[in-house]
Amino acid sequence: MDTQVVIIGGGPSGLLLSQLLNRAGIATVILERASREHVLSRIRAGILEWGSVELLREAGVGARMDAEGIAHDGAWLTDADLMVHVDFKALTGRQVMVYGQTEVTHDLYDAQDAMGTTILHGVEDVRILDLDGPQAAVEYTQGGRRHRLSCAYVAGCDGFHGVSRRTIPEDRRREFERVYPFGWLGILSRTPPVADELIYANSPHGFALASMRNHNLVRYYVQVPLSDRVEDWPDDRFWAEFRRRIPAQAAARLVTGPSIEKSVAPLRSFVSEPLRWGRLFLVGDAAHIVPPTGAKGLNLAVSDVFYLHQALIAALKQGDQAGLDTYSDRALARIWKAMRFSWQMTMMLHRFDGEDGFAAQMRRATLAHLAESETARRELAENYVGLPY
């Protein structure tokens, strides 16, 4: 074999899997289509479940997160009439960590470089072969030359548009999808946050989220039609719309400034089953997409890595295949629970075009129930901080 595990995709899930395997003495090669600079320029999630925090520490990449990340005890859910605080720490004993995905990726690259891991960028035309034989193979083109790697296993961490999922025959895949009729327009701005914790606002004008990356870098969102483009939203328009969607006491504290990044993200729920095909294992967005409402995207990828790294270590170090045989079922059980939570949060907080008055009343009733019921708040908190692995 050329290496023990080929990892397709050099984002955080592929890097974390490689880091954990390398620390156990298992050799990996990572193949990434984009440049490192492009990978590190992606603006993605900023909320880490506590299980993700603990796994990053286990991987030896938690020092900067612990020094610079911001632990949050809870979050606010609001509408035009109510502000409901969900106290994660009081209800579950756990917190979440505000620490951007870009920073996680930086930390993982630094750790992998220190280990000397082979990370190949600019890789094109990847083909995954021989998955039902004694060894798998991965062919790819880099710099105009064709290459081939033999390995024991392949981890597909290459995202929704990658080759890994499509390698599983179409007639052997079951795909489930819900596309939502709106997107999130998000901006980054070097301004102080309007609150110490996140605010999820369901207003008559549509959803808004007040999030942050640190004490002087905010990530704010507003719900927009899928037809809207970034060019339709100059900064002044965004700030005016964001201000009228968040609670008045937060709006009074709002500090505006120029955006340093702006993008529109469509919302969808997607799951592809199974997560295993012979010697290929799917991880993260290659197998599932969640709307960002529940802060589960990166965290679900981390939970896949948790199950898969343990299974690969057992198989390659002890010859125990049981973990690989159950990987898909174990990971999917947690994926579907997170999918339910993200769908539930999305339905509770967004206005849908053409909806009737009943839908708005259901959102009001749901928030009122959260305000009155500790049991309801605990159920939300348990899902938000992360279900156990």
Distance CA 326, CA 335 (A): 14
Record the tokens describing residue 216, joined without a space. Answer: 């002087």
Cβ-based neighbour number of residue 35 at 10 Å: 12
72 is catalytic: yes
Q: Give which of 373, 340, 44, 75 is closest to 200, Cα–Cα.
A: 75
Give one DSSP letter per residue of 184-209, joined into a string: EEEEEESS--SSSS-EEEEETTEEEE
**What's at 36, amino acid-wise?**
R
**Catalytic hit among 292, 307, 309, 350:** 292
Cβ-based neighbour number of residue 113 at 10 Å: 10
Residues 6+ apart with CB under 8 A from 169: 277
Distance CA 142, CA 147 (A): 8
221 is catalytic: no
Say if residues 307 and 322 touch (Cβ distance below 8 Å).
no
Distance CA 31, CA 9 (A): 6
**Catalytic hit among 200, 220, 307, 327:** 200
DSSP 35: -
384 is catalytic: yes
134 is catalytic: no
Antiparallel, parallel or unpaired: β 153-156 and 174-189: unpaired
- Extended strands (E) in 206-361: 206-214, 217-224, 259-273, 276-277, 280-282, 288-289
**Catalytic hit among 153, 180, 296, 327:** 296
Cβ-based neighbour number of residue 171 at 10 Å: 5
Distance CA 237, CA 123 (A): 40
SS3 48: strand
Quote the Cα angle for 93-283-35, to 5°.
110
Record the tokens describing residue 212, joined without a space. Answer: 């942050």
| DSSP run (H or E) holding 74 | strand 74-78
Say if residues 136 and 6 touch (Cβ distance below 8 Å).
yes
**Catalytic hit among 12, 72, 221, 309:** 72
317 is catalytic: no
- Where do we find the tokens 């082979």? 118
| Burial readout 230-244 (b: 16 or more C-beta within 10 A, e: otherwise) | beebeeeebbebbbe
Residues identified as active-site: 72, 200, 292, 296, 384
